Amino acid sequence: MVTRVDRNIAVLTAKTAKRFANRLPPPWKRKVRGSPPIHDSRTVFVLCLLMVSQNLTYDGMEVEKRKGYLQQTLKVPNLPSRSALQRGMQRLDQKYVRKFNKLLVRKFVNKGMTVAVDSTGIRLKVSSSWYDIRIGKVNKRRDNAKLHISVALRRNVIIGYKITSWKRNDSPQLEFLLRDIDELLRVLADAGYLGRDNCNVVARKNGKPFFALKKDTINRANGSRAWKEMVVFARKRKELYDAIYHARSVIESIFSAVKRRYGSCVRAVKRKTRNMAIALRVIAFNIKQRLYDATARRLGLPFWVKCDQ
């Protein structure tokens, strides 16, 4: 299953991205004044996504465009230039990417699903070796962005995401990460999300919170019945609670897969472009998971296989 997808991942990613992009309005509106654009904005979006999914630079994308399969796949007479792709990355916005992702994972969002949430740091490389030469020393500054995600554990797809500064706390992001889910079964999260407000957020979606507890956590409700029920259950049925909670470890594998496949750092200088590159990694990962799922269904293979320990 994995081999069939990975050997043609570039072509399959381009086809899938084009199909879903055609279901949405264009990423940006054409300007009223001036000559009409040469390239459709959807085509520019697909190529920007492919560049990120293949972990290519703009120069590497120029080489990729010469292979010929892109013109055939996208059915266009000519492909956007490097400058057009750079402008496209700047014109794309997170609102469009979230709409695209919502459409992409809609088949995996079911009532009564188990969701895991967590965050990871993405290293930002905002200077080059030429900058080091200019200032006469090695620039040791390392900036980071923080990627918060919510994952549907049944199919390991990223339902929601948010990109913040590395200084932002995890806890306030939970409600945003769950906003596209109407009804839940469980939410698994580490102690960074522990709080009565977050328990109430989960309870309003008919779900049960399973957060990592601290040593000094008490079961006093203080306006949150879900909090008290969670703490009492964790104390009385500790083994069962821990077994359910530790399914959250899957999300660590997803972070590892994203960084290994698409890179652990982002090189763009402008903040908007950096955030867009991170968001497109989320889209690229979900497309890959969707392709795996479709291939498994077509071949009649189980998505999950039990392994003997």
The amino acid sitting at 195 is: G
Rounded-to-integer distance, Cα 271 and Cα 163, Å: 11
Q: What is the pTM of this model?
A: 0.90
- SS3 assignment, position 147: strand
Q: Express each pLDDT in 165-215 by its tens digit.
A: 888 899 999 999 999 998 999 999 999 999 999 999 999 999 999 999 998
For residue 163, give the 3-state DSSP assignment: strand
- pLDDT by residue (tens digit) across 56-103? 989 999 999 888 889 888 888 889 999 999 999 999 999 999 999 999
Q: Which residue has the tokens 């013109």?
A: 71
- Of 309, 1, 296, 277, nearest in space to 122 by CA: 277
Distance, in Å, from the CA atom of 40 to the CA atom of 76, rounded to the nearest integer, reads 9
Q: H helices within 56-119, ranges in order?
A: 58-65, 69-74, 82-91, 94-104
Nearest to 185 by CA among 233, 113, 250: 113
| Beta carbons of 121 and 255 less than 8 angstroms apart | no
Model pLDDT, residue 112:
86
Q: Chain-centre distance of CA 114, in angstroms?
A: 17
Strands 208-211 and 113-124: unpaired
pLDDT band at 297 (very low <50, low <70, confident <90, very high): confident
Alpha helices in the chain (DSSP H): 2-6, 9-21, 41-53, 58-65, 69-74, 82-91, 94-104, 129-135, 174-177, 196-203, 225-236, 238-245, 250-262, 271-299
Q: Are 85 and 52 in contact (CB under 8 A)?
A: no
State the pLDDT confidence band at 16, using cuts at 50, 70 and 90: very high
| pLDDT for 179 | 92
Cα first-last separation, the chain: 23
* Phi, psi for 214 (deg, rounded to 5): -95, 165
Distance CA 251, CA 152 (A): 9
Q: Provide the sign of the torsion angle of the four alpha carbons 127, 130, 132, 138, taken in this order.
A: positive
Residue 309's pLDDT band (cuts 50, 70, 90): low
**Which helix H or strand E contains 121, and what residues bound it?**
strand 113-124
H helix or E strand, kind and range, residue 164? strand 157-165
Check whether 135 has a pLDDT greater than 70: no
Q: Of 173-187, 247-261, 288-302, give the lowest mean pLDDT range.
A: 288-302
Q: Which of 102, 254, 118 is nearest to 182 (CA)?
A: 102
For residue 307, pLDDT over 70 is answered with no
pLDDT at position 54 is 93
Domains by residue range for the chain, with CATH: 2-103+270-299 (no CATH), 110-252 (3.30.420)
